[in-house]
Structure 1
C-alpha cells in the first residue's frame, strides 16, 4: 500500500479522522474547563503533553505534505483533500490555542522538541526547494559564494533545530 492509496482510503472513510480530529480540541476544551489555572500541575500537564503530541504530529505532517504538494508537485489548492490536508492543521491550531489558554507551553514536558523538529523539517524543505529550483545546471549562474552562504545558513538552522530537539531540560 502506498501513501497515496492510504490517503485515498482515509478520504473514502473519513469517520475515524473526523472523530479523532474533533475529539482532540474537545478534550483540550474539557481539560480547560475542568482544570482552569491548574494546567501546570502534574496530571494536567501530562494530559496536555499527550494532546499536543497526538495532534501536532499529524498536523506537522499535513503542513509538510501541503508544502511538498504545492511547491514540488504543483498541486492546485482546489485539489486539496479536506480530511487529510486541512482538518489536521485546523485541529492542531484549535487544540494548541485551547491548551495555551490554560498553561504556558514552557511548562509542558517535551514541547520544545516539537519546535526543534519543525525547524529541521523546514530546513530540509528549504534545501530540497533550492536544489529543485537550481537543477544543478543553473547553479553556474549563481555566484559560488551565494550558493555556499545559502547552504551554510540552512545548515545552521538545521543544527539549531537539532540542538533544540535533543536538548534535555
Structure 2
C-alpha cells in the first residue's frame, strides 16, 4: 500500500479520521476541566503527554506534507485535501492551546524532544528547498556510504547549532 492508496482509502471513508481529530481537543478540554481542582497537576503530565503525541504526530506529518507538496510538487492550494492537510494542523493547535492552559509543557515528558524534532524537520526542508533551487547537478564517484555519513553529520551539526542558537 502506498501513501496515495492510504489517502484514497481515507477519502472513501473520512468519518473515523474526522471524529478522531474532533475528539482530541474535546478530550483535552474535558481533562482540563477534571484537572482544575487537582493539586497534583504534575500527575496529569502523562495523561496530557498521550494527548499531545496523539495530536502532534499527525499534525507534524500534515505540516511536513503541506510544505513538501507546495514547495517541491508545486501543488495548488485549490487541490489540498482538507481532512489530511488542514484538519490535523488545526486539531493539533487547538489541543496544544487547551493543554497549555492547564499544564506547562515542561511537565509533559518528551515534549522538548518533539519540538526539537520539529525544528530538525524544518531545517532539513529548508536545506532541501535551497538545494532544489540551486539546480546543481554533480557527477561524482563518491560512495553512497560517504554521502550517507555526510548527511547524518549535517543533521547533527544542524541540531547542535540550533540548540546553541536557542
Query: How many equivalent residue pairs?
Result: 149
Shift of 1:40: 2.8
Equivalent residue for 1:167?
none
Shift of 1:17: 0.6
Q: Write out aligned runs for 1:16-165 (5 A).
A: 16-36=16-36, 38=38, 40-42=41-43, 44-136=44-136, 156-160=157-161
Shift of 1:155: 6.7
CA offsets 1:26-71 (integer angstroms, 9 cap, x no match):
10000011111647331x1111000001110100000000000000
Hey, what's the Cα distance between the residues in 1 that align with 2:157 and 2:37? Answer: 38
Query: Does the 8 Å contact 2:52/2:96 carry over to 1?
Result: yes
Query: Does the 8 Å contact 2:42/2:107 carry over to 1?
Result: no
Q: Aligned-residue CA RMSD in angstroms?
A: 2.4
CA offsets 1:90-135 (integer angstroms, 9 cap, x no match):
1000100000110111111111011110011011101110111001
Unmatched 5+ residue regions in structure 2? 138-153
Hey, what's the Cα distance between the residues in 1 that align with 2:86 and 2:50? Answer: 21
Q: Which runs of 4+ in 1 moved over 4 A?
A: 153-156
Hey, what's the Cα distance between the residues in 1 that align with 2:117 and 2:161? Answer: 10
TM-score normalized with structure 2 length: 0.82
Query: Does the 8 Å contact 1:119/1:157 carry over to 2?
Result: no
Hey, what's the Cα distance between the residues in 1 that align with 2:161 and 2:58? Answer: 23
Hey, what's the Cα distance between the residues in 1 that align with 2:134 and 2:97? Answer: 39
**Residues 46, 13 of structure 1: alpha-carbon distance in 2 compared, 3 angstrom cutoff:** same
